Amino acid sequence: MKRFENRTVLVTGAGSGMGRAVALRLAEEGAAVALWGRRVALLDRVADEIAAAGGRALAQGCDIASPGDIAGNLEALIAEFGALHAVFANAGHLGDFKPLRETGPADFDALIRINMLGTQQTIAQSLPRMAGGAVLVNASWTVGAVMPGAGAYAASKAALTAMMRTWAVEEGPRGNRINAISPGIILTRMADDALDPAISARLADHTPLRRNGRSEDVAGTAAWLLSEDAAFVTGQDIIVDGGFTLGGALR
């Protein structure tokens, strides 16, 4: 399929994990992809993969916690590709796992600056450059279920889902669709750093599909929500978790 021919998509946090997988999937389907992240070497590798497959990509170092970085990068990508049609706001920060009673203001600082304000500014500055476009926010399964120790992270992601629904109403008359995706246990580099292998195995056993997710499991759903195949879908949070949050008696 070439659902994204003649379309430009911005992917934040594109150097690894879900961002990389989605960027590669979009490029495969014809998109010109702007790759944002703080680790430029990783972005360059993804851009090289896309170019080797015959696609177009622009690697741009960016700290989304800096509104100035966002503004400058948007100008550069418009100059390069001529337009912006969609955004996958994927970049995020996990923070330290600890009980909420032990969580202090410093623990919330990076979560608020990156997950909340960084994502909000990425989208807010992108929307004026779009008409009839699509935005997808990477939220989290922890918004609707509980992972002890991840309360601060979950709170920052819950704020994004609230903003997503507001944006959907505000931007609908302009033809822009805003949705979220809530991945379950996806074995990205960030998740591997946080999860003990024994806990990871227990989480897989709790999942009806009997495995944890891979970044590629998210890419197809993300591509659908950003494409015209989802032209009448807005304000929704789609859970991609292999059934993990269903819980129940399946073991």
Q: What is the pLDDT along the chain (251 residues), one digit of tens a residue?
A: 799 999 999 999 999 999 999 999 999 999 999 999 999 999 999 999 999 999 999 999 999 999 999 999 999 999 999 999 999 999 999 999 899 999 999 999 999 999 999 999 999 999 999 989 999 999 998 898 888 899 999 999 999 999 999 999 999 999 999 999 999 888 766 655 556 677 777 776 777 777 877 889 999 999 999 999 999 999 999 999 887 778 754 44
Dist. CA 15–CA 40, nearest whole Å = 8
Asked if residue 205 belongs to a domain, the reply is no
Name the DSSP letter for residue 27: H
CATH of the domain at 75: 3.40.50.720
Token pair of 242 as six digits:
């292999």
Q: Which residue range forms the structural domain that includes residue 53? A: 8-186+216-231
Catalytic residues: 153
Helix ranges restricted to H, 29-129 = 40-52, 67-81, 105-110, 119-126
Domains held by the chain: number: 1
Asked if residue 111 belongs to a domain, the reply is yes
Asked if residue 54 belongs to a domain, the reply is yes
Asked if residue 221 belongs to a domain, the reply is yes
Helix 17-28 / helix 215-226 crossing angle, nearest 10 deg: 50
CB 230 within 8 A of CB 177: yes
3-state percent breakdown (helix, strand, coil) of the chain, nearest 5: 50, 15, 35
Dist. CA 242–CA 250, nearest whole Å = 12
Record the pTM.
0.91
Asked if residue 47 belongs to a domain, the reply is yes
Asked if residue 77 belongs to a domain, the reply is yes
Asked if residue 3 belongs to a domain, the reply is no
Asked if residue 46 belongs to a domain, the reply is yes
